[in-house]
Amino acid sequence: MDFTLNKEQLMIKKMAREFAEQSLAPVADLIEEENRVPEEIIAGLAELDLFGLAMPEEYGGANAGYDSYVLAMEQIARVSCGPAMIISAHSLGLGAIANFGTAEQKARYMPAACQGKHIASFAFTEPGTGSDPKQITSTAVKEGNHYVINGTKRFISNGTYPGPLVLFAKDAESGRPTAFIVEKFCEGYSVSKPWEKLGWHGGDLVDIYLQNVKVPLANVLGEIGNGYPILQYGIAFGKIGMNSLALGTTLAAFEEAVKYAREKTHRGQPIAKFPSIQLKIAEIAMKYEASRWMAYRLGVLANKPRSYQEFAQEAALSKVIIAENAMQAARLALDVHGSYGLMADYKVSRLYRDAAMGPQIEGVIDMQKIIVAGDILNP
């Protein structure tokens, strides 16, 4: 398979990198400290079409494909994971509408979201659930021409931004999870204050409270009682964004380690002269290259997946490799910095915390290994 980038892909990568360096880098420390992405950064990302990069052109997207999406996200996450996390969660919710929504639903919710005027969310997790949809306690009861939804959703990205929320609740008719499109900040919708996360500052995670929220029948996404396939889609395709964040972190770890090794001196010479430092730099470089091709390949496969099952297995496999590589690369970069790497003044300390997020988000690592093993042992 030839991964040579075409002119459009090179342009998108260059555009994202320039924005990250010129606009995002100057406020990266502010994002880290305040756990908030400035409105001008959101507007800049929207202007570059990053909120609809992989979405269909007919609904306001750029139709550039998931391969280009990975290229852009890598460059954004290389500088700051918070904005990349916002785009990733947004693309997850918006992608579910694009793939399972009716023509009317797409026309209503996608254009504003593709333009970044609205930011989408995806809500499955609850205080008492992990990866098991049978544990969902949120309920949806049909009353006339709408459903009444009650429940609490936990660790939801973008819950504080207006826009569509793809939400899963157990409907009273089927007794199984059903997907609904809820308009955030409708009557009965409220959120907690953002959780204080270890890393990925700027991308908010909140609990969402739904108290007698009325959702029109027309906002059922897919079929009643058939929310699980939509959830599976979300879990698999959500890994494209998560992989991109981990890849960007790995690239940043490599660059920071190289920069420090060249600048830090010992007895008048850069520490890059030491074989132990050279070995660490080489190992980070190898982890980045392995992760890069895995992430790019998944982006290509996402454009035209041969089957959902095959893509889910590929997504799980790539998630394990890329997330674990990011953790190891950040640790090696920290080792290159020595005691200085423990100081908040150095970017590598942030990278180490950011890298720790990947293995726990959009499916924990052990669950992904079970998915891979299940596909191998039970074809």
The full length of the chain comes to 379
Compute the average pLDDT of residues 31-54. 96
pTM of the full predicted structure? Answer: 0.95
Per-residue pLDDT, 182: 98
In angstroms, the CA 192 to CA 284 distance is: 39
Q: Which two tokens stand for residue 159?
A: 């819950």
Residues annotated catalytic, as ranges: 362
Torsion angles phi and psi, residue 153, rounded to 5: -115, 140
Q: Which two tokens stand for residue 197?
A: 């996360």
Residues 146-179: pLDDT tens digits? 999 999 999 999 999 999 999 999 999 999 999 9
Per-residue pLDDT, 376: 86
Domains of the chain, with CATH numbers? 7-114 (1.10.540.10), 121-226 (2.40.110.10), 228-377 (1.20.140.10)
Query: Is the pLDDT score of 1 beyond 70?
Result: no
Indicate left, alpha or beta for 188 from its phi (over 0: left) and psi (-120 to 50: alpha). left
Residues 277-315: pLDDT tens digits? 999 999 999 999 999 999 999 999 999 988 888 898 999
Helices (H) and strands (E) in the chain, counts: 11, 10
In angstroms, the CA 186 to CA 141 distance is: 17
In angstroms, the CA 64 to CA 157 distance is: 24
In angstroms, the CA 370 to CA 229 distance is: 19
Per-residue pLDDT, 132: 73
In angstroms, the CA 316 to CA 373 distance is: 10
* Least confident piece of the model among 181-195, 239-253, 353-367: 353-367
2: pLDDT confidence band, cut at 50, 70 and 90? low
Rounded-to-10 torsion of CA 358, 360, 361, 362:
110
By C-alpha distance, which of 185, 297, 177 is closest to 234?
177
DSSP secondary structure string for all residues of 252-292 = HHHHHHHHHHHH-EETTEEGGGSHHHHHHHHHHHHHHHHHH
- The β-bridge partners of 168 are 179
Note whether 76 and 24 are within 8 A (CB). yes
CB atoms within 10 A of CB 160: 19
365: pLDDT confidence band, cut at 50, 70 and 90? confident
In angstroms, the CA 337 to CA 351 distance is: 12
Residues 74-111: pLDDT tens digits? 999 999 999 999 999 999 999 999 999 999 999 999 99
Note whether 359 and 327 are within 8 A (CB). yes
Residues 17-35: pLDDT tens digits? 999 999 999 999 999 999 9
Note whether 133 and 118 are within 8 A (CB). no
363: pLDDT confidence band, cut at 50, 70 and 90? confident
Compute the average pLDDT of residues 189-206. 96
Supply the mean pLDDT for the chain: 95
Query: Is the pLDDT score of 328 beyond 80?
Result: yes
In angstroms, the CA 28 to CA 49 distance is: 21
